[in-house]
Amino acid sequence: MRVEPMHRIVGHMAVPGDKSISHRAVLLGALCDGETRVTGFGRSADTEATIEAVRALGITVYEYDDETLHVFGKGLRGLGAPAKPIDCRNAGTLVRLLAGMLAGQEGQRFTLTGDASLSARPMGRVTEPLRLMGAAVESEDGHLPLVIEGRPLHAVTYELPVASAQVKSAILLAGLSADGETTVVEPVPTRDHTELMLAAAGATIVRRQTSVSVRPAARLALGEIEIPGDFSSAAPFIVAATLVPGSELHIHGVNLNPRRTGLLGILARMGANVTVYNRRQIAGEPAGDLEVRSADLVATAVTGAEVPSAIDELPLFVLAASCAHGDSVLRGAGELRAKESDRIEATADALRALGQHVRAVDDGFRIRGVPARPHGGRIASRGDHRIAMLGAIAALASRRGVEIEDAECVAVSFPGFFELLDSLRREAAE
């Protein structure tokens, strides 16, 4: 697919519901007693895999339209093992959270599989704490498939060796069935959607500065969940409007959970012009509208402490830094090498192909900023939705446009990405 440059980006837009919260709404809805009504659902290949997974476990999910679901839960111990393996496709959030949910389903045996990309991603970081809790989990040398036999679980205090909201969530979900208080200690704070939703469902959650605990639950009930717009889906357009001169873009109803919006802080110290207005709560999550105007950027250093709150947006930061004044550095982001692709190498290769000065290091990047439009060219997405979107945003800011190989992979998280981009192009032309 070829994406052409834009002379300016103007208008108003909204993005799909938050993917992380959408996963959790369906998964926790399956564990609730009775009906959970979900509005603003972020439909994508990943979240559709979550719907199919809970259906395989015996849960009825009624889809009124793309954004409205009713999940009819069967309680904390009501999931049934299907005759066939549960295919998690490419959804890392799904497979890790599901492992925690299933570990305490006593007397049941489950097999979790995925596509080639997911099967290459490490699962040891989630199987280790579950085994410490007494779970029977087998893997293929630390990779999929996972075979889980539900057993009685024991409460643990587990210190995460690497900050991971997915692993934290798996342990907390397993802790719902454990015999005491289960605690996860984090090296730095990560996304807290799971603990927020568990608390809303009636679970006993204790949150501290560096840890979170859950006690076993008798029942959960959510009732209704409205899902705010996905910040990770808004982020490409934030960076595009920042880089393309003459831009003024409004993005409405975006999730502004501070554990998700690290990119905003990074861009702010680079000189970006992003204003938050109409702040409000949506389903217990902070949300608001964003006004983004184009700005000249200056270099910055991003540390490991900032990585968890900006993990999905770091390739976009590298693009922004490559167009800034001065030299930037990003360290402590080794986790990027274990995503759908090796995102450190994929990002560096893609941006160098467009004429940018980006060098990969073991756990991040060194970037020489040149305050000019990228030349343009051709990039390989490597089947990674974040890299495909990175190429499209670089194209908008480029001189000659960008050809993106396997651009269709954006459907993993944002099926309507290119349609939304085209609508902004039409609005700018009016």
> Which residues define the annotated binding site for phosphoenolpyruvate?
19, 92, 121, 166, 343, 386
429 Cβ contact partners less than 8 Å away, ≥ 6 residues apart:
none
Distance, in Å, from the CA atom of 80 to the CA atom of 83, rounded to the nearest integer, reads: 10
Alpha carbon of residue 55 to chain centroid: 22
Q: Which residues contact 130 (CB under 8 A, 6 or more apart)?
A: 99, 100, 103, 137, 170, 171, 174
In whole angstroms, give the CA distance from residue 282 to residue 286.
6
Q: Which residues are catalytic?
A: 312
Cis peptide upstream of residue 145 (ω within 30 degrees of 0): yes
Confirm if 149 and 109 have CB atoms less than 8 A apart: yes
Whole-angstrom distance, CA of residue 59 vs CA of residue 101: 14
Give yes or no for a contact between 318 and 273, defined as CB atoms under 8 angstroms apart.
no
The rounded distance, in Å, linking the Cα atoms of 138 and 95 is 14
Burial class (CB in 10 A: 0-12, 13-18, 19+), 370: middle
Which DSSP letter does residue 13 get?
A: E
Amino acid type, 116: A
Structure tokens at 388: 């495909």
> What does the block give as tokens for 407?
């651009």
Say if residues 133 and 151 touch (Cβ distance below 8 Å). no
Report d(CA 55, CA 46) in Å as an integer. 15
Residues 6+ apart with CB under 8 A from 301: 328, 329, 330, 331
Binding-site residues, in ranges, read 19-20, 24, 92, 121, 164, 166, 312, 339, 343, 386
Going by the annotation, the residues of the binding site for 3-phosphoshikimate are: 19-20, 24, 164, 166, 312, 339
Amino acid identity for residue 93 in this structure: T
